[in-house]
Amino acid sequence: MEGVKMAPRRPDGVGAFPKAVEPPAPKRPDPDSLYAALDLGTNSCRMLIAQPKGSQFHVVDSFSKSVGLGQGLGGSGRLSRSSMARTIQALRICKRKLAKHDVGHMRLVATEACRRATNSRDFMRIVERETGLSLEIIKPEEEAMLAVISCAPLVSTRTEQLLVVDIGGGSTELVWIDLSAVPPLERPRSIMRLRTGFKGDLGPFPTARVVDWISVPLGVATLREAYDDVDDDSARFALMSWYFEEQLGGFSPFHRENNREGFQIIGTSGTVTTVAATHLGLKRYDRNKVDGLRMTSDQIDRVIRGYLAAGPEGRRADPRIGRDRQALIMSGAAILQALLRIWPTDRLSVADRGLREGLLYAQMSSDGVLEDGPF
């Protein structure tokens, strides 16, 4: 019996197989414990601190700062001193928040910029020395999986084919999931079971099947940087969109046609939430109105055409876009337009959630502090 210590059998056979001595039960995490998730991307440093609450969690504190860690990375292959300095200043704030809330469980990860930079290991050591935080560089597959998990509550029970898109600063992850074999009411929950990995043993439950996934090394910052020498706004946008589409040729669903009724895209990124806020005509961003909103291809196209008509100055003055995002909104919109050109849909769900939420769900689920209930 694995994990159970048996007392020795007596030589004369009397008293054989005595009662097993059970090992002490593992200590269950305190359900009131706080958890943290930090996502250091190519453009932003973001963190959430949360407490388990039922089948979800309650956010206690958060942090988000545009640090431009990957600025200039495409040309040099290295993180610059100035970008590292900005990032360390942001991480110091994160460290203070973690200490203030006495966070007991945390996962602090870095993504595409640190995956690509030749000096990323040196940067990790500097971060630990200067802030006391230990960051891990995660692989694209795990980044994609965690983004999918965070979006599980937004999956419709009518969805048979699902595309989850995470547009980051330095890369874009796409995951195509076949839900047709899963009973409709089980479809959102079946996405959460993917937390063991895209190829993990999902047991006897109805299976959400990952058809294919891809990590394209182009995000809002890296795609914009690649076409920084093109002066004409509209020409730059068109070139970025077609170039991104060219990178999807190796993604197996590239030529797939889908019934719009059973097809859903979930988009998780600042690009998608900004487009949604513009579509709603919000004067100030409101997560409660944006997260979970469903848009059609035509509605998104109208917003993007409005951005192009406004030009750089008009976008800069638009409060819904914001100063941190105005320089990158068109590269993100180019990616979004390319996706909808290939896979038009009447149901693109906007997710104001992503890697951080996936990290929190995965930690809490692993510790058994989330209730098994509906989303």
Domain CATH number, residue 304: 3.30.420.150
Which token pair is 65?
């700062």
Residue 261, in any domain of the structure:
yes
So what's the pLDDT on residue 272? Answer: 95
Residue 68: is its pLDDT beyond 60? yes
Which token pair is 191?
């996405």
Q: Between 22 and 148, name the one with better pLDDT.
A: 148
Q: Do 145 and 133 sit in the same domain of this protein?
A: no
So what's the pLDDT on residue 311? Answer: 92
pLDDT in tens, 171-180: 999 999 999 9
Residue 89 sits in a domain whose CATH number is 3.30.420.40
The pLDDT-based confidence of 350 (bands split at 50, 70, 90) is: very high
Q: Do 98 and 82 sit in the same domain of this protein?
A: yes
Q: Do 133 and 46 sit in the same domain of this protein?
A: yes
Residue 204, in any domain of the structure:
yes
Of residues 180, 237, 178, 246, the one with CA closest to residue 216:
246
pLDDT in tens, 295-344: 999 999 999 999 999 998 899 888 878 766 778 899 999 999 999 999 99
Q: Do 187 and 298 sit in the same domain of this protein?
A: yes
Of residues 175, 260, 268, the one with CA closest to residue 215:
175
So what's the pLDDT on residue 283? Answer: 85
Q: Do 158 and 147 sit in the same domain of this protein?
A: yes
Residue 299, in any domain of the structure:
yes
Average pLDDT of the residues in 76-103: 96
Cβ contacts of 328 within 8 Å, gap of 6 or more: 43, 169, 220, 221, 224, 270, 271
Average pLDDT of the residues in 267-289: 91
So what's the pLDDT on residue 188? Answer: 87
Beta bridge partners of 27: none
What CA–CA distance (Å, rounded) separates 360 from 375?
15
Please state the length of the chain: 375
Residue 51, in any domain of the structure:
yes
Q: Do 124 and 271 sit in the same domain of this protein?
A: no
Domain that residue 336 falls in: 141-356
Residue 18, in any domain of the structure:
no
So what's the pLDDT on residue 96? Answer: 97
So what's the pLDDT on residue 6? Answer: 41
Residue 26: is its pLDDT beyond 70? no
Is the pTM value of this prediction over 0.85?
no
Q: Do 172 and 210 sit in the same domain of this protein?
A: yes
Residue 227, in any domain of the structure:
yes
Q: Do 86 and 196 sit in the same domain of this protein?
A: no
Q: Do 166 and 288 sit in the same domain of this protein?
A: yes
The pLDDT-based confidence of 289 (bands split at 50, 70, 90) is: very high
pLDDT in tens, 248-259: 999 999 888 777
Residue 369, in any domain of the structure:
no
What CA–CA distance (Å, rounded) separates 86 from 127?
11
Q: Do 111 and 168 sit in the same domain of this protein?
A: no
Residue 19, in any domain of the structure:
no
Q: Do 73 and 194 sit in the same domain of this protein?
A: no
Q: Do 124 and 182 sit in the same domain of this protein?
A: no
Q: Chain-wide mean pLDDT for the chain?
A: 86
So what's the pLDDT on residue 22? Answer: 54
- How many structural domains does the chain have? 2
So what's the pLDDT on residue 317? Answer: 86
Give the β-pairing of 172-178 and 348-351: unpaired
Boundary of a domain, candidates 105, 138, 171 = 138
pLDDT in tens, 140-198: 889 988 989 889 889 999 999 999 999 998 899 999 999 999 999 988 888 877 754 55
Angle formed at CA 46 by CA 323 and CA 199, multiple of 5 degrees = 125
